[in-house]
Chains A and B, each alone.
Chain A
Amino acid sequence: MERVKERAKVLEIKDLRVSFHTRRGVFKALRGVDLELYKGEVLGLAGESGSGKSTLGLAIMGLLPRNARVESGEVLLDGSKDVLKRLRDYGSRDVKFDPRKNEKLIKRLNKELREVRGRALAMVFQEPLTSLNPVLQVGYQIAEAVYYHDPMRLVRRAISRNRCTQADLRDLMTTLKTKGEEALIEEVEKRNLRGLEEQILSIWRRQDIHEAKKEKLILSLDKHKLDSKDRLGISIYLRGLQRVPVLGRLAKDALIKEGYRLAVEILTYLGIPHPEKVVRMYPHELSGGMRQRVVIGIAIVNNPEIVIMDEPTSALDVTIQAQILELVSSLKASSNRSFIFISHDLSVLAEVSDRIAIMYAGKIAEVGPVKVIFEEPQHPYTKMLMDAIPTMDKTELKAIPGSVPDMRSPPKGCSFSNRCPFVMPKCKEMEPPMVEVSEGHKVACFLVGERK
């Protein structure tokens, strides 16, 4: 467990409270959430509908709808960047909440966050069809994601490839083979060919082709020179004329074209067969699993530190779900990214997560390492949830009586008190504090506090 502590926090959420103002009343979706995300881990976020798990994901991304009021709390990226400051400043004020005012703030926030999203944060939604644009080719959508977040990357890629010579590639190839990837990156820097290394490495890291083929592909990188139109487009971009009509179009076209090459590399990386064909396809031509891979591709193309996945496999069949879970595990292994994996299905979370947070009625009920949560759950809700999930080897299911509370008027004290078999008088009076039972394992229940 020591290991967990040492790792750097990439995201910290402190006492986050968000409510939705609707015609049916004020729904308190998040009621004081504290959570950390460490570098390189998968944090599973479990909960039933209405537990606030999706709202939490959206809040971290700053993607809240206009009627969402951030009453208090912070979402700190890398320990400093306070994502929701603007909304909180308004939401915590003691005035009548006006969604129109809030909407303006959200718009401004979106502008600020555009740069952060993609680079630091990315999100994958449940229904891949709704997050893909049906009238654009998938390659275009991946390319555009890069174009908006890091257009210089596309410029570097194009220019470096255009400038490199056969001799350069031969030297780089030798460096790569004899001294490894680090040395290659240095060598590329030295030759002022930045942008070439990712193209070389994406070929080099492929598992499915023979070394000889890789070498041939790398050595033929210099054959893919820019044509005159693209050269023109890129030079327009470099002169900062991308906002000029017509000229801007040329610049964007050239960069998007480069983005298609990058899209092919990403799709190859994600294990999609025939990536050259797939980038020219439209979302409806792809199967559900493929679409979800494309969405994941868009999410990771800018190398974000944190990827939030909101029920990414819930709309998929089990055999396809298994493919995506495998993909997530391999993504985690091959990069030092952190993931927040939101799901209502505890079994899915058991397969992918390092740590799990169980949410109930807008609060974290229990959080801890995955093994501990499944083997020694402490919160009555977690325990009962484990008994209620049907699995292949259970002969008896113990249903949890009742249902989730109405979030317009959540019960006083512990929100699970009305369904809890161990309820005590004080549960109805006070909210139980988070108690750390063991390293990294925290529970919000008086039963646990009592024993301590």
Chain B
Amino acid sequence: MIGAFNLKKYFPVRGGVVGTQYLKAVDNVTLTVRRGEVVGVVGESGSGKSTLGRMLIRLLEPTGGEILFDAPEEEMVKYREALESGDKESAEMISRKYSLLRKKGSELRKLRTRMSMVFQDPYSSLDPRFRILDVIMEPMISTGYLRGEEARKKALDLLEEVGLPRAFGNRYPHELSGGQRQRVAIARALSTDPELVILDEPTSALDVSVQAQILNLLKEFRRRKNITMVLITHNIAVVSYMADRVAVMYSGRLMEIGDKDDVLTRPKHPYTMALISSVPRPRPGEARKRIVLKGDPPNLLSPPRGCVFHPRCPMAFHECGWTAEEVAEDINYLVQGKYYNVFGDNVKVIPLQDKVKVEGANPESIKKVLEVERENIRSLTAVKEVTEDSLLIIHAFQEPKLYKESERRSVSCLLYR
């Protein structure tokens, strides 16, 4: 149905001493959605999931990459292969035919009848000065899908379909509750009978009891109309209820994608594992191992090198992208704290280019500490060797790509090379 290839969105951030920097909201994301399927995109705030969704229906222009719309599956596969093999010519041919990004003006407007979006906050996504009926009719009229009386009739029918009385058509949004507004937003999104609907956190502004109503409504529409959906949410339970496939994003990158049951019950990427184990469960007293990640998601202006997740990853190893600064900080912490009795006061840890200098310490005791702490403090795995003069050499790193773990599952982690 729709395929995004190496999609990028960089937002320029001006000012400061450093000049213009780029915030990499979405970086090299490849994602294909088949007709009739529901793909859940999960991620925390700042993971770029909303930006991705907005690019998919061209509410935001990507900085790079390509989106193919309504291309047959073989063509998508071909395009991907062409990209990978560097076959520019055939890639260009396919993209000329199906590219969403090359559509302009009336062509794009026509395409807009085939895709729509439901936004997170039903309180701000409806124009306060529009009557409900006008809200629902807007996509039909703007795209010329239906006009006048026909559009009106369709809008009234839709109101009924989303479970609201027809009389609501003459009301204004402020007269409705949150759940009712979200129903109106869904009616608007469905008014041009689109094939693809992007749902951006459709229930996170709603109460639990209303959330279930809306999710069931969406499920019902999906069943009846065979609509393709991309469900963007931070709520894994919602994805688990709605989606067929799940894509996990972190810091603008795709971490893992695969069938829902696989990803949620047998996560492969360490981030997915942590994410899923962090989801609170209504099972009091249930003994389970929770992976509590240390620290915070990275600053998108200067993301960590290598794998963006490595500083928080409980399974990271030597090639994940450790820098001398990261290693030095952890060693310093150990030397000053836990191993104070071994090293005393006169040790200095200095990060250099891909090396860490530990002054005033004996290489043997450093080795011993590394040996013991390696399991817990993952940055220590990056130390390749300790030289005679206590110089710690850091391993070279590798940028992870999306590796095919099985037929329908890809993971962006070096563990699955």
Contacts and interface: CB of A to CB of B under 8 A. Distances in A.
A8 interface: no
From B208, B236, B274, B292, residue with most partner A Cβ within 10 Å: B208
A186 to B, nearest CB: 29
B48 to A, nearest CB: 13
A163 B404 CA distance: 67
Contact of A388 (B179, B212, B238, B275): B212
Nearest to B283: A350
Contact of B284 (A374, A391, A394): A374
Contact of B282 (A48, A347, A400): A347
B216 A397 contact: yes
B215 A325 contact: no
Nearest to A323: B292
Nearest to B42: A318
B281 A350 contact: yes
B237 A403 contact: no
B212 A322 contact: no
A23 interface: no
Contacts of B149: none
Interface stretch (A14-22, A69-77, A136-144, A209-217): A209-217
A321 interface: yes
A353 B285 CA distance: 10
Given A323-B292, A397-B215, A318 B275 contact: yes
B222 to A, nearest CB: 14
A397 B241 contact: yes
A435 to B, nearest CB: 23
A374 to B, nearest CB: 5
Interface string B132-163: 00000000000000000000000000000000
Interface stretch (B15-23, B101-109, B186-194, B332-340): B332-340
Nearest to B250: A319
Interface residues of B, number: 45
Given A347-B281, A392-B279, A209 B337 contact: yes
Contacts of A374: 282-284
B206 to A, nearest CB: 9
A323 B275 CA distance: 12
Contact of A392 (B216, B281, B293): B281
Contact of B238 (A208, A323, A390): A390
From A344, A353, A390, A392, residue with most partner B Cβ within 10 Å: A390
A344 B207 contact: yes
A337 B222 CA distance: 49
From B209, B235, B275, B276, residue with most partner A Cβ within 10 Å: B209
Contacts of A317: 44-45, 234, 297
Contacts of B285: 370-371
A210 B237 contact: no
Nearest to B338: A210
A390 B209 CA distance: 10
Contacts of B336: 209, 213
Given A213-B336, A392-B237, A319 B208 contact: no
Contacts of A386: 282
Contact of B240 (A209, A370, A390, A403): A390
A290 interface: yes
Contact of A289 (B278, B281, B296, B333): B296
B90 interface: no
A347 B280 contact: yes
Interface in A246-270: none
A154 interface: no
From B212, B237, B290, residue with most partner A Cβ within 10 Å: B212
Contacts of A399: 209-210, 212-213, 215-216
B85 interface: no
B341 interface: yes
Contacts of B293: 319, 322-323
From B207, B236, B336, residue with most partner A Cβ within 10 Å: B207
Interface string A279-295: 00000000111100000
From B264, B278, B336, residue with most partner A Cβ within 10 Å: B278
A346 B209 CA distance: 12
Contact of B212 (A351, A371, A398): A398
Contacts of A213: 336-337, 340-341
Interface in A344-398: 344-348, 350-351, 353, 370-371, 374, 384-386, 388-395, 397-398
Interface of A: 48-49, 208-213, 216, 287-290, 317-323, 325-326, 344-348, 350-351, 353, 370-371, 374, 384-386, 388-395, 397-401, 403-404
30 contacts: A48-B207, A48-B208, A209-B336, A211-B341, A212-B340, A318-B275, A318-B279, A319-B274, A319-B293, A323-B292, A323-B293, A326-B292, A345-B208, A347-B237, A347-B279, A347-B280, A347-B281, A348-B280, A350-B280, A350-B282, A370-B284, A370-B285, A374-B283, A385-B209, A388-B208, A388-B212, A390-B240, A392-B236, A397-B241, A399-B212
Interface pairs A-B: 9 shortest CB-CB: A213-B340, A317-B44, A209-B337, A399-B212, A322-B278, A400-B209, A212-B341, A347-B280, A388-B212
Interface of B: 44-45, 177, 179, 207-213, 215-216, 234-238, 240-241, 264, 274-285, 290, 292-293, 296-297, 333, 336-341
